[in-house]
Every structure is written in structure tokens, then in C-alpha cells.
A = this chain, B = another copy of it.
């Protein structure tokens, strides 16, 4: 007994025996695709070594582009490009003072996300890779 949805499910997965009830239940409870897509985009922004370092620096203090570039030993251009990514994700804000641009964090949730991330790392450092 196969429903049409069942046929659709098999379109690409190449499976014949699946747990239809489970799949349907999960499908009904999945958040909207736009939300999941935005979530992936947000984590993609955090998923870069340079940007993580920038965010951690801004946890501690407001900094200008030169400060960050000096701290990380990178060019102003590279930092500026990354700050644009963080800006577009609404994660940092800035204020101008003369020709200097000071950047700071623009989100309360970031610290929680990072803290949980570090907790995960701390807890899984004992485990071996499979």
C-alpha cells in the first residue's frame, strides 16, 4: 500500500523500504524552509576562522578596522571584506569618528551561541573521530 506521497519520496532517494509514518511525522513538524535556510546562512557566517576571531575580539572591545587587522596580522582589505559579511548578517554595527570606523557586536544571542559551541567542543574532545 503506497500513497502518492510515497511515490514522490522515492523520486530521488533510491529506496523502496522506508518508515513512511516517521517520515510523514517529521515532515509535518519541520520548520519553514526559509527559516532553516536563514539558519544555515547564519551559521555559515560563523563558520570561518577569521570571522570567529573578529567576533571574539569584539566581545572584549569596540575596535577599528586597523585594530582588528593588527590583532590578527591580516590586511585591512581582508578584514573589511569579512566585516561586510558580519554587517550583512546583522552581527556587528559601526560608528564613524573622523576617518576611523569603530565596529562592535550587534546581537545579544551571539554570546550564547558561541558559549554553547565551546561547551560542545569541550564535551566532545574526549571522543575519538569515527
Contacts and interface: CB of A to CB of B under 8 A. Distances in A.
**In the complex, which range does the number of interface residues on chain A fall in?**
35 or more
A98 to B, nearest CB: 11
Contacts of A87: 130
Q: Which of A43, A57, A73, A123 has the most chain B CB atoms inside 10 A of its CB?
A: A43
Copies of this polypeptide in the complex: 2
B118 A23 contact: no
A13 B75 contact: yes
A3 interface: no
B116 A12 contact: no
A117 to B, nearest CB: 5
A81 interface: no
